[in-house]
Structure 1
Amino acid sequence: MALEMIKSDRTIKALKFGAGRLSDGGGLYLLPFVNGGSHGWRFDYTYQGKRKTLSLGVYPQVGLAQARQKATVARSMLAAGQDPSDDRRQQRAVIVERHEAGRRQEAGEAPLGSFEEVARRWFHVRQDQWMQSYSSKVIARLQNDVFPFIGSQLLSDITPKMLLDMLRRVEARGVRETTHRVLETCSNVFRFAIAEGHDLTDPGRDLKGALKKPQCNHFAAITKPQELARLLGAIEAYQGTYVVRAALKLSPMLLVRPGELRKAQWCEFDLDNGLWYVPSARLKRTKLEKEVGEPHFVPLPRQAVQVLEELFLLTGHLALVFPGERHRDRPMSENTVNAALRAMGYAKDEMTAHGFRATARTLIVEALGFDEAVAEMQLAHAVKDANGTAYNRAEFLAKRQEMMQAWSDYLEDLRLGRSKIKHSVLPEFKPVTLRLRNTHAARALPL
């Protein structure tokens, strides 16, 4: 094939506006005046049966000799079975990547492909599915405990040992549960990257056994009838404000969470029929369930209705059932009921506001004999029994109403000392070895 058909740069400089393309042979040619006063170099070729064109720059920035050199390189790649356009794209990708890396560095952002960069993208995808209170904790853990140590590392460079060293820094603060949550978050980031197509494995997959197990801390609760009777008496004698006293009285009766109770609004109650519907947004649910879920039905026993009727005379003109002492448009503080319990002499490790749920859950099943599934439903827990959600709706609500009234009656009887329910009590433990001691003592007696 004929090559170097353009005689010299003079030929190019002599081109007039409107001139046709100038061929140099072998697929290389010049398109006059494609960019105003500049001419464009092009290289036509065929790869795997497809006709393609490669741009080689503009004249005079790319001269005749340089254009021929670029065309020669492209022909060599074709001879080796490579597509020159692929090479060009790779070169451009490298340039773009370098430019982006420089921009991110100047802006103080994490490098592309680093743990922090991927983690922030994962968080951006997931945060809309979470409540703000939860998502703020997730990003705070990442920013405080993870990014300072492995944030700038490429995901492919992070080893299990590096991850474990970072986790043990968290564990050294004595926050075991947080340590396991950080591990779970890191694993989620790696799985997110794997789903995106990164050739990785999760280095945190086998690290749980290398960490100390978190301690399981339950809310303190009274579950012995005699102690509960004393607590109910103390609540009845409480000398604080009537609003707080009403919250104390209702806490053991209604089985709701403290936040669900203190944020209650009068528009949610039907006292004539003993009904309370707690809005889904106030329940312990996922963000989507909070937005579209059904409200939680709380049957009101007559004792609760009596307390609420009296309270309505005091706060019924307000939106909130339990307004704060200073700000009537805000609910009482989340610490109010617990503070009242402390004032009555109950320490944090003896009883808490949330512990009333455990009290009810234990005694409703053990002392009153109600079905565990009914109690769990009233606690707004997911029913473990596969048939729990298949109950006839009317029958299930009727059982809950029956249970709530029976529970309040039981509390009233306990407080007044007239409960007829017999509670199983284990006898005092007497080791059988005491018999040997008595036998030895008998042998030591004189005949």
Structure 2
Amino acid sequence: MALTDTKVKNAKPAEKDYKLYDERGLFVLVKANGSKYWRLKYMKDGKEKLLALGVYPDISLKDARELRDAARSQVAKGVDPNDTKRAAKAVQQGVNSFAVIAREWYDKQLPTWAPATAKKRLALLENDLFPWIGARQIDELTSRDLLEGLQRIENRGAKDTAHNARQVLSQIFRYARVTQRTSNDPVQDLKGALAPKLANHRPAITEPADLGRMLVKIEIYNGSYIVRALLALCPLLFQRPGEMIAMRWEDIDFDLGEWRYIPPKTIKKTTCPDGIPHTVPLSKQALGVLRELQPLTGHGVYVFPSERRQGGHASAGTINKALQIMGYDTNKAHCAHGFRSTARTILDEVLGFRVEWIEHQLAHAVRDALGRAYNRTTHLPQRKEMMQRWADYLDALRLQAQSPNVITANFGKAS
């Protein structure tokens, strides 16, 4: 039965909030303190949603019905009225609101993403960020504001989504700084604030102490010398397993301390789509492993030759097989590809190095805040320093695992 203005006016508060329904999803919520709020229930993408229409008597029954009809018309056209409301509020608060700047950033990045990635990014913004901080001025947002939003995602069990949201926030704030809308960078304070990512189909060790124990096992690995050298280089260089086993001596420059190779064109998001070599700085420790191995395999093409195929390189399963011999379940604990996730997580969340440096070392396509691709030599001196500090940090973890009293807490951290 439809409401009347008299019925709404005479509705008295009760011990608990209650609803008086009108028609087509419209109702008034009568609060225990006597306040009366207009609400509209509607369906969007198979989900039930609510739209706040205002407070009675500022919004009369007639006004509420007109607002209801306008909102239902938007839904019929595929538009979420809550999105429209948030966007209008953001515009009213000026071009420096988080929502406005985030949409600018999204539009800049859109041409560089696959359709599926673009869809996920937009859903993350609209479902997990805009409802809580979209209307806020970006210069006013604090690390606490952002942490509350990330924990809201985390608490529903979506740990990976929370980590993705943190990365998106970092990129948006970097874009805001580049475009001189803020000097604020609250995302930097969130390093280590979230629980580690959930294990996936490529399990990886991400705790420094566990990594230290693995490094000890690698050092005492009793398999072939060639495989032990391969295992030693995997955490130092954290390149893809297929590229590690196919490393060629001619690609190693001992004088410059660099390994330059061209990733296969089938690799997604590579830094080298035009065939320009990817440069991996070699730390003193990595060069030491290679120099010791050179007298044994340096006469051939591959650094890690096959034991069975004449002229070939080590097989794809070599690293995982060695990890299994060392006692690691490569389906649950750590796999050959996991060395990349290990380095990515610890370099960022523990040691505090810049994400774009790390991503470049992973041979991922790296773009600046305006969507422009970095070239292969960008920040090479800084990345060389990062790789040396990473190698020193791994040494410290190994020593600490061997002698727990060794103090290594600040070793390798970005300055």
**TM-score, normalised to structure 1's length?**
0.43
Q: Which has the higher contact order (CA 8 A, sep 6+)?
A: 2
**TM-score, normalised to structure 2's length?**
0.47
Larger Rg: 1
